[in-house]
Structure 1
Amino acid sequence: MSTRLGQRRVVPIMAVLTTFICIIDGAITTVALPSIARQFDLTPAALTGVVVIYPVCLGMVIPASAWLVERYGGRRTLLLSLTAFTVASGLCGAAPNLTALVAARALQGLAAGLLMPTSQVLMFRTFSQAEQVRLSRLMVVPQQIAPAIAPLLGGLLVTDLSWRWVFYVNVPFGAAAVLFGALFLAEHRDHTAGRLDLPGLLLCAVGTAALMYGVCTGPDLGWARPQVLGSLVAGGVLLAIAVRHQLRTPEPILRLRLFRDRLFRDTNLISLVGYVPMMGAMFLGPIFIQEARGGSALESGSTTFTEAFGVLLTMQVVGALYHRIGPRLIIGTGLLGVAGVMLLFATADAQTGLWTFRGYMFLLGLAMGAVFIPTTIASFSTVDRADVAHAATLNTVVRQTGSALAPAVVTSVLVLGATGSERVHPPMASYQLSYFVLAAVALAAGLFAFTMPDGPARSSVTPRPQAVGRRQRQQVG
């Protein structure tokens, strides 16, 4: 078996492990926050640092991921960041106080900021666009299973063992991934890194961190608080300066010139806006079940679980239709479906049955499955091979921004005009208004999706006769 054939098996396994670990960690940690507060005799509000430090550090390091992959290679970057993430998980579990826990979470965020874009680069350097579409039917499985089982797993670990096991659970998975990669993953490097754009990196890192802090803390502290406003303004100014610098630098840390390509620009704009209603609904659902309906954490986890089945089902259809009808119709229809499901959620109240809510979550998954993978694959259709690492970095920045905006939008609408106890326990009308707002955002993104050009995306996944013959010879050999 050739090295390339071997890597066509090894790279997807590494991507699956990386994705699974990152998503599990992101979805499971919130379950442990009340127990952590009790352990250290703190109020839940005092744990803001544990929650906010992760996306802040994540945003700081993502801009450097493309340069690091080109400078040190995909294998070394992925294994070192996986090792750091695994060690940081163990340190989080063993933290003797809040300060140590926040520091370990910071290291986790820095490592996680490299994991997703690096694994994405390895996938796009190993497989063609057509192969990516077919492979997405399998790759979507861990992406959906992880967030579905995380609340259930977290609840079991916190209840039966300790909150520390919410972090310890990452260690065996991370160690297994590092060992497997060290043994079988080959180096992937097809482009030499240029000079490090240190001013651009510092501007992007500090600006993104400031903006993420403001977005994450604004709903809880209040958007008018000086530290929130100051953080948002400082982040916006620094990022504006960073953009100006990137466009004038021969070898920028972020190749913003890639946004000159309409397909790349449109798909990323769709991801940025479309992630708000999709991730917003995933954030709002558990709150609605527990707060508005008075359900338990177990009821919440088992209710949102059905979304994963919807995504898995749709992805099997999307993989077969992508090269026939193109991503434009698939993505646009999916986002309109998300808008429709948001309107169904807006009709829910305290008397809505759990199985009805589960049905809505399943429908949401059906619609979301038409958006996730097609936008990613289409965005790389017109990207040169030498720009793949930078395109993956920009993709990650955009999606992380959309994911951070989602809970900020939802929480802001929930407390809109609320005072006193209503800020802690919003009335039913606030939940329904939140779903209406998410529906409007999804509708806008869906209508825009129908305007994007998808000719290059369709042609990039049409198997050429030479490629078919080459694969057949590989199979015979």
Structure 2
Amino acid sequence: MENMDSTVLATSLPAIAVDLHQDPIALKLALTSYLLSLAIFIPASGWAADRFGARTVFRSAIVVFTLGSILCGLSSTLPGFVAARMFQGAGGAMMVPVGRLVLFRSVPRDELVQALAYLTIPALLGPILGPPLGGFITTYAHWRWIFWINVPIGLLGVVLATLYIPNIREKTVWPLDILGFILSGVGLSALMFGLTVAGRGFLSPLVTLGLVLGGGVTIAVYVWHAGRAPYPIIDLKLLKVATFRGSVLGGYLFRLGIGALPFLLPLLLQLGLGMTPFQSGCLTFASAAGAMLMKTTAQTILRRFGFRTVLVTNALISSVFLLLYGTFTSTTPLALMFGLLLAGGFFRSLEFTGINAIAYADIDNPTMSRATSFASVAQQLSLSSGVAVGAAVIEFSRVAHGDSVLRVQDFGAAFTVVGLISAVSALVFLRLPRDAGASLTGRPRYDASASATSSADAPEAVPLKPVART
């Protein structure tokens, strides 16, 4: 439901903009406000699951998400729509991380990659069905129905969670870092909202600058606080673990580029190439179809080549596909577009599986909830940043050619920038230990005594006790 909602919305953004009398680029607020809400509330998801039980939190999150969907469907102004999306995001913030946490605590370490792949296969039904469904509803009915279809799915989700999700909780729960929760929430939301509205005229330049600077200062204060708090809500000490650090930092750069894709691609196809929402949706679902094809092969590929090799090589391949999307024009054959989207989805999904799994290769169970929250915050921030960067490049390009009309060239510039940013993530993954993630795939660990290694390859000593490898 959560995955389908975002892809359905992306396909319908141009139509929503017309109905709400807004510039289509202004509707980036509908995407970033949701992602910002995730970034604010996700840090508390691990603590809430430990304190109240995974099933209790998971069911409550589904209810909040469903109510938020109803409010989105009833919205008639941009501020009301953005507020409803933020409320919806509060539910989404607890759904995905808590569900993932249940998996991490239930599956043996050496089966984690395959379990993540199987977990994602049904979740990918959302992105596969979302674009054509959203395009069909928007073209032949009304965009509000894309939110109201979440109601029966949400009710079914509550029933299934009650029957099948165990109420896992920790016996000893670390205290909630209330000051850290406030500092991280205020800092992240102010910074990202300021960057999102910059140059759009929603707020005065002075207020926008105040949001950006205030958010940056608040985040700096949080970093100071996290270094002194015994149980910070976003535990920066986890970055001392080489595999977790590589996943978070490299994943942030990679996802920043990929995060712009759901925003840029439907706008390019509909506003740049003149497709209907239904035609656009029937093309963009190819990425999710490619992702589903990959899931059955992820374990084999990672075992054969290792995490570091796959993450470095695949980051570059995926970035090339982003650059190619920026070359789409009205003369590009539809079959070629579909093939590139399908293949790009395959490689991006392999990268996501590797990034998500390697984060927890050396994290022990007592720390798992904090690691899950931290990684989820970084993931949502990167996606929000991707939308902001993509929109900013389009705005700069429009200003450069001196009018407000969106041109195909504007999207080409945006895809080029985000593609290059994603490619930089390969430099981060290159610094992973040579045997990073060996416990997840059963590959033999690298023997440092057999040959000299560089400081970039040497496994880093960490203060956290690693889980015993099987």
* TM superposition score category, shorter chain reference: 0.7 to 0.9
CA RMSD of aligned residues (A): 2.8
Offset, 1:174: 1.0
Return 301-310 or 345-354, whichever deviates more. Answer: 345-354
CA contact 2:291–2:348 (8 Å) conserved in 1: yes
1:70-100: CA deviation from partner (whole Å, max 9, x where unpaired):
2112111111111221223233334577666
Is 1:126 matched with 2:109?
no
1:372-413: CA deviation from partner (whole Å, max 9, x where unpaired):
111111110100100111111111111111101112222222
For the residues of structure 1 that align with 2:226 and 2:12, how far apart are their CA atoms? 40
Structure-1-length-normalised TM-score: 0.85
More helix by share: 1
Offset, 1:239: 0.8
Which of 452, 456, 463 is equivalent to 2:432? 452
Offset, 1:60: 1.8
For the residues of structure 1 that align with 2:18 and 2:217, how far apart are their CA atoms? 39
Q: What residue identity is the alignment partner of 2:144?
A: R
Which of 255, 261, 278 is equivalent to 1:298? 278
CA contact 1:27–1:147 (8 Å) conserved in 2: yes
Q: What residue identity is the alignment partner of 1:29?
A: L
Which of 383, 403, 415 is equivalent to 2:383? 403
Offset, 1:159: 3.8
1:1-36: CA deviation from partner (whole Å, max 9, x where unpaired):
xxxxxxxxxxxxxxxxxxxx1111222234455555
Which of 60, 69, 93 is equivalent to 1:80? 60
Which of 187, 202, 224 is equivalent to 2:182? 202
Specify the alignment match of 2:448 in structure 1: none
Cα 1:357/1:247, change in 2 over 3 Å = same
For the residues of structure 2 that align with 1:347 and 1:463, how far apart are their CA atoms? 40
What's the secondary structure of 2:437's corresponding residue? helix
Cα 1:346/1:184, change in 2 over 3 Å = closer
Q: How many residues were matched structurally?
A: 445
Specify the alignment match of 1:16 in structure 2: none
Offset, 1:319: 1.7
1:243-275: CA deviation from partner (whole Å, max 9, x where unpaired):
110110112112111111111001111110001
Is 1:284 matched with 2:289?
no
Specify the alignment match of 1:354 in structure 2: 334
Is 1:67 matched with 2:44?
no
Task: Please show how residues 276-425 of structure 1 align to structure 2 within 5 Å.
Answer: 276-419=256-399, 424-425=404-405
Which of 397, 414, 432 is equivalent to 1:434? 414
Q: What residue identity is the alignment partner of 1:317?
A: T
For the residues of structure 2 that align with 1:301 and 1:36, how far apart are their CA atoms? 15
CA contact 2:139–2:276 (8 Å) conserved in 1: no
For the residues of structure 2 that align with 1:279 and 1:186, how far apart are their CA atoms? 32
For the residues of structure 1 that align with 2:65 and 2:397, how far apart are their CA atoms? 40
Offset, 1:50: 4.8
Return 150-159 or 59-68, whichever deviates more. Answer: 150-159
CA contact 2:326–2:413 (8 Å) conserved in 1: yes
1:160-184: CA deviation from partner (whole Å, max 9, x where unpaired):
4433321111111111111111233
For the residues of structure 1 that align with 2:100 and 2:303, how far apart are their CA atoms? 21
CA contact 1:136–1:319 (8 Å) conserved in 2: no
Return 319-328 or 63-72, whichever deviates more. Answer: 319-328
Q: Mind listing any 5+ residue stretches in structure 1 that lack a counterpart?
A: 1-20, 465-470, 472-477
Cα 1:42/1:330, change in 2 over 3 Å = closer
Which of 90, 100, 104 is equivalent to 1:110? 90
Return 397-406 or 186-195, whichever deviates more. Answer: 186-195
CA contact 2:35–2:383 (8 Å) conserved in 1: no
For the residues of structure 1 that align with 2:116 and 2:219, how far apart are their CA atoms? 33
For the residues of structure 2 that align with 1:320 and 1:192, how far apart are their CA atoms? 37
CA contact 2:135–2:280 (8 Å) conserved in 1: no
CA contact 2:4–2:127 (8 Å) conserved in 1: yes
Cα 1:307/1:455, change in 2 over 3 Å = same
Specify the alignment match of 1:93 in structure 2: 73
Offset, 1:429: 3.4
Structure-2-length-normalised TM-score: 0.86
For the residues of structure 2 that align with 1:454 and 1:22, how far apart are their CA atoms? 36
Q: What residue identity is the alignment partner of 1:458?
A: A
Specify the alignment match of 1:248 in structure 2: 228
Cα 1:413/1:38, change in 2 over 3 Å = closer
What's the secondary structure of 1:419's corresponding residue? helix
Return 372-381 or 275-284, whichever deviates more. Answer: 275-284
Q: What residue identity is the alignment partner of 2:416?
A: F
CA contact 1:219–1:408 (8 Å) conserved in 2: no
CA contact 2:46–2:369 (8 Å) conserved in 1: yes
Cα 1:144/1:99, change in 2 over 3 Å = same
Q: What residue identity is the alignment partner of 2:275?
A: G
Specify the alignment match of 1:5 in structure 2: none
For the residues of structure 2 that align with 1:216 and 1:355, how far apart are their CA atoms? 34
Q: Mind listing any 5+ residue stretches in structure 2 that lack a counterpart?
A: 445-469
For the residues of structure 1 that align with 2:21 and 2:50, how far apart are their CA atoms? 46
1:200-226: CA deviation from partner (whole Å, max 9, x where unpaired):
111011111112212332364499933
For the residues of structure 1 that align with 2:269 and 2:77, how far apart are their CA atoms? 32
